[in-house]
Amino acid sequence: MKLDSVHYCEDKGMPSEWRVDGCQLGNVNLIVGKNASGKSKILRAINLLSNLLSGDQNLKSDRIFKEWTLTFNSHSPDDKQVYVLIVDNGTVVEEKLTIGSKIYLNRNKSGEGKIWANKLNVDIDFQTPIDEIAALKRRDSIQHPFFENLYIWASTLRYYQFGTELGRSVFALVKSRKKESLRKKIDFKDTEQVIGIFKLGEEELGTPFIEAIKSDMLSVGYAITEVGTKTPSIFLEDETDQFIDRKPECLYVKESDLRQKTEQYSMSQGMFRALSLIIQVNYSLLSGKSSCILIDDIGEGLDFERSSSMIKLLIDKAKTGLVQLIMTSNDRFIMNGVPLEFWSVIERKTGLAKLHNINNSKQIFDDFKFTGLNNFDFFASQFYVEGFQNEESINQ
């Protein structure tokens, strides 16, 4: 199921109101904008809804008014899905799911509503607690199977903040190598659990998983001949006895031009971020569990060549149709390396992040091809707002 558009609003009707307009998405997306324009906020809003729909987060921890409208599969009228969720003060104000032209779920702020029952072939009355998401709590493969695709999308969505450590300073205590035991202990949405995800991939997927990591690292500019886990060298052998049947483990790589192994805490930030992301994305892809990948500040900490290679690698993976990729950046080198057809540029206004992309501003995007300028100039000159009407900015 592919996410085609997002409408989001918070603090509606208040001085702090903020909303997103024009967020239309393809298989590959790069959201660009100035600092504090809302790039990260958009990804966080999508991620929050996915956590609510997958049960990884509840409403009680959030008291702010929020409103989402997500549209999926809009290319197919019969399969088009529109999910609406409005919450305020930790409770649901409205929730609605429409597939094609039929409403399958419609509930109000009291928790009462109508839901379609497949076996009965009729809408039935229901009531759910006001602080619970009906699309999650009413999942039923017999009577309400239409919630399943929404749940799968939410539970397989992954959100990576590339500017963070992505698990570099975290070791793992591994008691068992059995797949079932490893899987139970891993929170796949916690990007710091990369060691556990690597070990599970090693057990479940074997050599193809390891070879994919090595190949992808090489394409980004890191030639490695080995990748694995080991007891960190900073722990002396007798010190590991205190862990009884569990010993700390870390990731390591063996670079082709070095004799010794490089453990994760000795890697550069850029190298480890690339390794962590590549491990986690490859596990998702090879295990068939990925639908949507969000990456904030893609390329942060990498040099120009490596950040460009990382972008190309991710775009190639997304072009297979196995994953939808939504990235953010305000780095000129990354912007110049990503075709404009994948761009959404944020025009920041008071309380509004208005996105311009090839879907809603096609003429402007097409006209820019005749300027002879590079992609970053499209952003810097604000051509995306006024096109050739803004000749003064273009000439500058």
User: 337 or 161, which is more confident?
Assistant: 161
The beta strands (E) that lie in 256-323 are given as 262-263, 292-296
* pLDDT of amino acid 1: 86
* pLDDT of amino acid 322: 83
Question: What is the mean predicted confidence (pLDDT) over 81-98?
Answer: 97
Whole-number Cα distances in Å, 48 to 94, 174, 366: 17, 30, 34
* pLDDT of amino acid 185: 80
* pLDDT of amino acid 239: 53
For the domain made up of 1-157+291-360, give the CATH fold.
Rossmann fold (3.40.50)
130-152 residue pLDDT tens:
999 999 999 999 999 999 999 99
Sign of CA dihedral 186, 190, 191, 192: negative
Calpha distance 80→88 (Å, rounded): 27
Calpha distance 100→320 (Å, rounded): 26
**Backbone φ, ψ for residue 192 (5° rounding):** -85, -10
* Cβ–Cβ under 8 Å, residues 78 and 100: yes
DSSP string of 313-325?
HHHHHHHTTS-EE
Q: Taking the model in full, what pTM does it have? A: 0.91
Q: What residue segments make up the domains of the chain, in order of their start? A: 1-157+291-360, 167-290
